[in-house]
Structures are given as structure tokens and as C-alpha cells.
Amino acid sequence: MKYYQNRLLGIVLLMVPFLNQAQETKDSLKPIPEPKTFVTSHQLSVGGKSINYKATAAETYLRNDEGEPVASFWSVAYTVDGGEPSKRPVTFVFNGGPGSASVWLHLGLLGPQRVRVPSEADKDDGAAPYLLEKNGNSLLDITDLVFIDPIGTGYSRVIGKGKEKDYWGLMEDASSVAQFMRSWVTDHNRWFSPKYIVGESFGTTRAAAVANTLEESGQDMALNGLILISQALDYAGSTSAHNNITSYLTYLPSMAATAWYHKKAGQGKSLEAFVQECRDFTYSQYAQALYKGSWLSDSEKEEIAGKLSYFIGLPSEYILRANLRVLVPRFQKQLLADRGLAIGRLDGRFMGDEADDTADHPHLGDPASYQISSAYTAALNHYFANSLKVQMDRPYLTSNGRLDKVWRWRPVPDGRYWEPSYVNTAPMLGETMRRNTDMKVMVASGYYDLICPFFDTEYTMARNGIVKERVRLTYYEAGHMMYTHEPDFLKLCQDIRQFLQ
């Protein structure tokens, strides 16, 4: 009897793969519904001028080589009525992550409506209701706007025979966004329109890769410009980790600026003057000290520690114990340790009161994130339902942590040699700028950004074959999302407007 039971079990186990395959085949053969589209008409006043525009919130299906739908891209496009659409500029906008939807740039900066959060980073966004208002500083008077949610974010997802692994990777992601952009431009007869990309954080990594990818596939689409907000092209300069000498250099001026903001350093000097002093020290002395390493004498170590203390407001004794190398998470906990507060990573202006004041990194998360995210999430859902009349059968994911564990950072195809290293799409930007001599770049950086430091922007743009004569750097007295600070929101809108015009 036991023999027959074992034999039966073996047959069942052999059938499992076929049953799973049959289930996958059954799922992939499910009828794919028509993509949903929601169109509404609106009016907005920008600079005293009334603008009539159409909002199109829609799914766009990407197809495989056999013409089958495999992915659904969600986008919200704002197009102004009248004129000749084929020649009107169009700007494609996305955030970063990877795993972040475009809600932040959509409702924080460029969209026709904007959610307000505490400008001075001095309190939490609290609970509903929140303030959602018309954005009289939107750029709709000079460009149409298309907000994109890459696969796995917002409402975007794989469908039919599509697989997430075909989209959740550095170059896979760039390829799918480029495919969507070509599809949108073709469907709306916009090949003659000047075209721009606005990306933030990893969205700048993506922007450089997308601009490069758009030159391929027999459909070369040249862009007029990139607007990189809190750029992250070369991750060596934005990864605060032990033994990464580049990061000790690139983060130091941001630490100094943040210490200045909290009145721990540089008092009696302007922010710009103090930051320039730190730049000079970083180039002339700190870099040499780091590369000299253990060959430094005790007196040299004490001298460098004293200067670092002067710039970042931490005790020389602590800096010596850190071997002249203070990681950003530790700086976040140490700067205001006397007040029992941890500062933000995305924006050093923010502060969080944590229970464990002895931890070597903020354990509640980033106060610059959790003190504003509820307002953005609620505002997005309210806006979609009430203004754009969107009705979907699934939640809108402002962020998707699943991507973090499976994201493929490899920049080359399988089978091609690649030794793991820091991600760097800056050379792609350099190549694209040299092939497309009309493409210009604007890079916006926040002084208090402790994720993507402004000094790394300068370091990155000075190398990688990037044509510096066509790059404009702008600075703001806020952090990663500098538009949460009202004065810098106004300045950034004006800077982008001047760049586009």
C-alpha cells in the first residue's frame, strides 16, 4: 500500500510544474480589457492669463514584438486648447525611486493643482483635510505636460504575458519609458514639438538613460533639453558608505550647509560664502588627507579634524574617532544630539524626535519624508477622484517597495562582461549631448539635500564628457524636494520657465 501511495505522490509532484504552467497560460489568456481613459476640461490662470486645457488620465498599452499588450502605462497629460499642437512644446515628467510614482512633481511643482505642506519644515503635515489649490505657477502656458508612472508605480502594471522582470531594471525601465514616449508622441502627432524631460532623483538617472535610449530602435527622437532635479547620475557621489572616498568629499559641503542652517557652524557668514569656503577646503586639503590615509601624522589628523569640526559642527574628538570620515546617517543623529533630534536625509531642515538617541542612524525613517507623504497621498487620491473623474479598480501606489529587492542595476545585457560597480548614467548624458548639439541641461540642487548632494552635481557635471557650456546649475535653500519650501518653489518655477524659453 505504501508503494502505491509513494508512486501516486510522485505522479502528483511531477504534475505540479505542468499545473502551474497551465495556470500561468490560463492567466495570460484572460481577456485584456480596453485601456481606460478619463478626459476632463479645465481652466487655469497663469501670470494673469486664463488658459483652457484638457486633462487626459489614461492607460497606454505597450506591446511586444507580436503586437500583444504586455504592460499598461499610466499617465496624466495636460494639453492646452487652441494653437498648433504639433509645434507646441511637450514636457515628460517622472519621479524616481526606483519605485516612486510622479505624484511629487505632479502635485508639488508642475501640475495645475498643488498640495501645500509646511514650508519651513517646522511641523508635520498632520492628518486630513489638507490644502490643495490651483497652481498659478504651473508651466502650462508655455508647454504641455505629461506625467508618467513607470511600471510598478501609480496605476502602471504588467498585463497579459508581460513580466515584471522585463521592466524592473535600469535599462529595462529606460527602454519602456522611451517606448511610451514614442507611442505618446506618435498618437498625438507631436514629432515636430520641442521635447523635454523633467526627472527627480533616480528620475535623473532614468532621464539620462532614456535620452540615450531614444536614439536607438530606428526611431531616433532628439530631445531639446533635460531638467534634472536633485541629480543622481553617478552613484559614487551619492552613496555615503565606508571606503567610498568620493562620497566623503561630495557630501561634506552639504553637511556644512546643513550645520549652518541649524546654527552649528559658519555663523556670521552667508550660506554661499561658507559653502564656498568648504568647497575650497574639500578640494585643497580634505581630498589629499583622505588619499593619504594612515600615512597622515597625528598632528595632521588633528588639524583636519579641527577644520572638519569647524565646517560640520561636530566635536573634533568624535571626528577623530570616525577616522575623519563621518557617514551621513551618523551626521543626521549627531548634529542635534544635544536636543535629542535627528535631522532629515532628503532635507536637512527637517527634524524628528526619536526614542533612541544613541542609535547611529535615524530609526524612525526620514522625517523629510514621513512629515509630508500623507498630504501628497491624500491629495492625489482626492484630486483624481474629484477633478479628473478617475475610477480605477486598484489603488494608486505613490511608492512600491517591492522594486527595491528585485531591481536589476546591470547596465549591459546578459552575456556581456560587466564588473559590478556604482551605477553611472552620466557618460550616457555626455554621449547624447555630443550627438545632439541642441540638447541643453538644467540641474537643480538643494543645499540641504543629504541624499543627492549639490557638490556631487558639480563633480559629475565636470566629468563624463558632458558639455559644460550647455549645462546650467541652479541652487536652492532647501533639500531634495526644494519645491516644498515656498521661496524655492517660486524660484525653481522661474528657473525652469527661463530654461524652457
**pLDDT range class, residue 30, cuts 50, 70, 90:** low
Domains in the chain: boundaries: 37-235+373-500, 241-368
- Say how far apart CA 182 and CA 193 lie, in whole Å: 12
Nearest to 205 by CA among 464, 499, 388: 464
Q: Average pLDDT, whole number, for the chain?
A: 92
Residue type, 382: H
CB 103 within 8 A of CB 131: no
Q: What is the pLDDT of residue 5?
A: 44
Return the CATH fold of 37-235+373-500.
Answer: Rossmann fold (3.40.50)
93-137 per-position pLDDT tens digit: 999 999 999 999 999 999 999 999 988 988 888 898 999 999 999
18-29 per-position pLDDT tens digit: 445 544 455 455
User: Alpha helices, DSSP H only, in 120-268?
Assistant: 170-187, 202-213, 245-261
Nearest to 225 by CA among 249, 208, 239: 208
Instruction: Transcribe 7-32 into DSSP letters.
Output: HHHHHHHHHHHHHHHHHHHHHHTSPP
Please determine, for residue 470, whether its predicted confidence score (pLDDT) is greater than 60: yes
The arithmetic mean of pLDDT across residues 158-178, rounded, is 95
CB 117 within 8 A of CB 372: yes
Nine-digit cell string for 436: 545632439
- Say how far apart CA 56 and CA 84 lie, in whole Å: 18
Q: What is the pLDDT of residue 80?
A: 94
Please determine, for residue 50, whether its predicted confidence score (pLDDT) is greater than 80: yes
Q: 144 — phi, psi (to 5°)?
A: -75, 155
Nearest to 170 by CA among 74, 232, 240, 98: 98
On the CB side of 288, how many CA atoms lie within 13 Å of its CA?
10
346-363 per-position pLDDT tens digit: 999 999 998 888 888 888
Q: 486 — phi, psi (to 5°)?
A: -55, -50
